[in-house]
Amino acid sequence: MIDLPTDRRALAALPLQELVLVLGLTGDVLPVRAMEEALRRGPGAATVAAHLLQDPPEHPDWDPLWILVLLGRFADPRHAPILVDYLERAPEDDHYVFAAAVEALAASGDEILPEVERLLESPDEDARLAGYGVLAQLSTPASGARLVEAAGKDPGMADVLAPALERSGDPAGVGALAEMLPRAPEGFRSDIEHALRVLHFGIEYPDMMPRDWRLRYRCDRVWPVFDPGWLGVARLGRRDPELMARRAPTPLRTVEEVLAVGAEAAGEPGASEGEAPDDLLAPICIVCGAEGDTRQGITTCRLHHEGIRMQQRGLLETLVGELVEIHQAEAGEAEEAGEAWVGGEVEDLSDLFVLLPAAESQWRDLADEADLVDDAASPAELDDLQQDLYEAGLLVDTLRGLIAEGVESLEGARARLTPGTPATVEGESMVEGGAMVITRAHFRLRDPEAVRMALSRAHAIEADPRRVDQYTWFDAPERRVLGVVELQGTGLTLECLSEERLARGRALLERVAGPNLSHRATTVQASLDPVIRDGWGSPRNDDGPRWN
């Protein structure tokens, strides 16, 4: 791989032809700054990209991936013939390039349908697969009708047509799927059955694919370049005989039998309509499993948001420090060799994504290592491995979450991850970077209804509208969450993140509820980290809880 300019000033000084060529000579890491500069130059950049796609340079580092992504950003229907030409000869082993080309073609809308016909009528399965993918992404009445027509002619591609019809959302696809069911290969029947249920019951699943290209074409925890989507996965599966052989044959069932199963899954046996249960899609806190909100890429409840945010900030600073060291080392090596250094400074979150593939690779290696850890490994070794896994995953999700929220600068990220109020409240020891412990006070209730009434009248305590018998204790002036109160039958639990805070909360509850509640015990978890790493319901603590 040759050295390429990466900082904004150097890229801005390049002639247009050379700038677009940089995209074609960049590796697997999304060249955000070069892409932004090319987009800033306007449609002329797309024209250059289209010419390079037609007549690529003879260079060992040439890769059209980011050229295709650039064409998709401009979405010019005039480039449809060039993209169709490319898809007809797309590399068999590069599913990322294939996915990017399909998405670039679909970005132009129904206007490109006449060109897509070349793919749909092709004798080559790979070309038809690309055409079906384009129709599914268009999701218009015209593209949906064409998918229905294709389903009647190509049952051997049911593994692609079924999810394509499912994503089109066209109810007319139910009839096409029903006709295809007995004609498709046995291993594809499960795809057809799933699509039948989705279209018949009108189930809508959230689109998990990021809209922002800065995130869409980033690596994630599974794919080293970017998620090629369902179409790329289908193409990969069709080209792997072992994967195709693993498709278990599904017994042929009538449409009525298939939909009866779907009605029961929707919660209404025998019903003709249904929907996906809301609680299956509700985000839950990574610490306690309670319903939460996703901010900065991580889902937390109100109680645990502050602690996780502090950890995110620490990991961000660690990553910045690592990249600064790498840049300094590269600059030093270039100076010793008497060469110009083409790297840039750590300016924004896009710079940090230079290290993200390494973090992702580390995450996958650690996950593999976790599967192979010898049973004789010490608890300390297992604990270190869990910590590394947790931090690598949290780092990846944090960067993606910040960019999804429109945060690009390092200062903006630091501000977003810094608690909005001072970390020390009335002498508490829970300061940023310090120890954070889960503490719980357990009470016995003499009159639960009286306690509910008392909590509803308390000034700094509010009922959680999403959970029955759960309340949030706020620091009234700043609306900072100090603790969570939960009633369970004749018991009540107060949970906080420091012993000092728990003592204040206990005094507040005893003052509010008076003789209707009595303290039974206090439990202290040595550290918040093991609960976060090991997941909800499996707190690990070498010392065990301390009962007072």
What is the full DSSP assignment across 389-452?
HHHHHHHHHHHHHHHHTT--BHHHHHHHTS-SS-S--TT-S--TTS---EEEEEEEES-HHHHH
Which pLDDT belongs to residue 434? 44
Bigger pLDDT: 176 or 276?
176
> Is the predicted pLDDT of residue 206 greater than 70, yes or no?
no
Positions of E strands within 293-437: 293-295, 298-300
Among 140-149, 221-230, 496-505, which is the least confidently predicted range?
A: 221-230
Bigger pLDDT: 341 or 162?
162
Q: Which two tokens stand for residue 64?
A: 């059209």
- Cα–Cα dist 125/118, whole Å: 12
Bigger pLDDT: 335 or 84?
84
How does residue 541 score in pLDDT terms, banded at 50, 70 and 90? very low
Q: Is residue 365 domain-resident?
A: yes
For residue 224, report the phi and psi dihedrals to the nearest 5 degrees.
-70, -20
Do 527 and 545 contact (CB within 8 A), yes or no?
A: no
Do 478 and 421 contact (CB within 8 A), yes or no?
A: yes
Question: Which residues, including other chains, have CB under 8 Å from residue 343's CB and lie 6 or more apart?
Answer: 6, 7, 327, 330, 331
Number of folded domains in the chain? Answer: 4
- Cα–Cα dist 445/370, whole Å: 44
Q: Is residue 296 domain-resident?
A: no
Q: Is residue 520 domain-resident?
A: yes
Positions of E strands within 244-310: 293-295, 298-300
- Cα–Cα dist 370/387, whole Å: 12
Count CB neighbours of 249 within 10 A. 11
387 shares a domain with 373: yes
How does residue 322 score in pLDDT terms, banded at 50, 70 and 90? confident
Question: Which residues, including other chains, have CB under 8 Å from residue 158's CB and lie 6 or more apart?
Answer: 151, 180, 184, 185, 188, 189, 191, 192
Percent of the chain clearing pLDDT 70 (strictly above): 79
Bigger pLDDT: 300 or 71?
71
How does residue 344 score in pLDDT terms, banded at 50, 70 and 90? low
Count CB neighbours of 450 within 10 A. 15
- Cα–Cα dist 159/185, whole Å: 9
Q: Which of 281, 316, 344 is the last residue of a domain?
A: 281
Average pLDDT over residues 133-162: 93
- Cα–Cα dist 414/128, whole Å: 47
Which pLDDT belongs to residue 307? 78
Rank 45-54, 476-485, 508-517 by mean pLDDT and report only the highest: 45-54
132 shares a domain with 41: no
Which pLDDT belongs to residue 273? 43
Q: Which of 248, 281, 314 is the last residue of a domain?
A: 281
Tens digits of residue pLDDT in 478-505: 667 888 899 988 999 998 888 888 999 9
175 shares a domain with 130: yes
Which pLDDT belongs to residue 357? 56
> Is the predicted pLDDT of residue 270 greater than 80, yes or no?
no
Q: 255: number of CA atoms within 13 Å, CB side?
A: 15
398 shares a domain with 254: no
Which pLDDT belongs to residue 319? 78
For Cα atoms 161, 164, 165, give the angle at the middle one, nearest 5 degrees: 85
How does residue 184 score in pLDDT terms, banded at 50, 70 and 90? very high
Tell me, rounded to whole angstroms, the distance of Cα 538 from its chain centroid: 24
Which pLDDT belongs to residue 274? 42
> Is the predicted pLDDT of residue 221 greater than 50, yes or no?
yes
State the DSSP string of 86-133: HHHT--TT-HHHHHHHHHHHHTT-GGGHHHHHHHHT-S-HHHHHHHHH
Which is it for strands 546-547 and 461-463: parallel, antiparallel or unpaired? unpaired
In the chain, the largest separation of any two C-alpha atoms, in whole Å, equals 84
Sign of CA dihedral 80, 82, 87, 92: negative
DSSP 198: H
Q: How far is CA 370 from CA 285, 315, 324, 358, 382, in A?
A: 24, 22, 30, 18, 8
Does this model's pTM top 0.75? My answer is no
Bigger pLDDT: 434 or 162?
162
310 shares a domain with 271: no
How does residue 214 score in pLDDT terms, banded at 50, 70 and 90? confident
Q: Is residue 219 domain-resident?
A: yes
Percent of the chain clearing pLDDT 90 (strictly above): 38
Q: Is residue 330 domain-resident?
A: yes
3-state secondary structure of 485: strand
113 shares a domain with 60: no
Q: Is residue 430 domain-resident?
A: no
How does residue 535 score in pLDDT terms, banded at 50, 70 and 90? very low
DSSP 409: B
Q: Is residue 427 domain-resident?
A: no
Among 268-277, 294-303, 389-398, 442-451, which is the least confidently predicted range?
A: 268-277
Do 387 and 394 contact (CB within 8 A), yes or no?
A: no
Bigger pLDDT: 315 or 154?
154
How does residue 330 score in pLDDT terms, banded at 50, 70 and 90? confident
- List the CATH number of the domain containing 474: 3.30.310
59 shares a domain with 87: no
The residue with tokens 């109680």 is 303
Average pLDDT over residues 449-474: 87
**First CA to last CA distance, the chain:** 62
C-alpha dihedral, 66 to 67 to 69 to 73, nearest 10°: 140
How does residue 341 score in pLDDT terms, banded at 50, 70 and 90? low
Q: Which of 16, 47, 74 is the last residue of a domain?
A: 74
> Is the predicted pLDDT of residue 90 greater than 70, yes or no?
yes
3-state secondary structure of 304: coil
266 shares a domain with 146: yes
C-alpha dihedral, 65 to 68 to 74 to 80, nearest 10°: -170
How does residue 111 score in pLDDT terms, banded at 50, 70 and 90? very high
Among 82-91, 357-366, 515-524, which is the least confidently predicted range?
A: 357-366
Which pLDDT belongs to residue 340? 61
Spatial CA neighbour of 533 closest among 393, 420, 407: 393
Secondary structure tally for the chain: helices H, strands E: 26, 9
Which pLDDT belongs to residue 53? 96
Range of the domain at 92: 80-281
How does residue 530 score in pLDDT terms, banded at 50, 70 and 90? very low
The residue with tokens 């829970």 is 430
How does residue 432 score in pLDDT terms, banded at 50, 70 and 90? very low
44 shares a domain with 17: yes
270 shares a domain with 364: no
Do 471 and 461 contact (CB within 8 A), yes or no?
A: yes
pLDDT mean across residues, the chain: 80
Which pLDDT belongs to residue 51? 97
Q: Is residue 425 domain-resident?
A: no
Q: How far is CA 207 from CA 235, 286, 310, in A?
A: 20, 21, 29
Rank 25-29, 111-115, 172-176, 458-462 by mean pLDDT and report only the highest: 111-115
The residue with tokens 């294939």 is 98
170 shares a domain with 266: yes
> Is the predicted pLDDT of residue 547 greater than 50, yes or no?
no
- Cα–Cα dist 507/98, whole Å: 63
- Cα–Cα dist 455/463, whole Å: 8
Count CB neighbours of 262 within 10 A. 19
> Is the predicted pLDDT of residue 283 greater than 90, yes or no?
no
Among 113-127, 137-151, 526-540, which is the least confidently predicted range?
A: 526-540
Which pLDDT belongs to residue 385? 67
Rank 157-161, 267-271, 274-278 by mean pLDDT and report only the highest: 157-161
Bigger pLDDT: 508 or 282?
508
138, containing H or E segment: helix 125-138
Average pLDDT over residues 329-336: 77
Among 179-193, 308-322, 523-537, which is the least confidently predicted range?
A: 523-537
90 shares a domain with 213: yes
Q: Which residues pair with 291 in a beta bridge?
A: 284
Tens digits of residue pLDDT in 352-397: 766 665 555 555 565 566 555 555 556 676 667 667 767 777 887 8
Average pLDDT over residues 172-195: 92
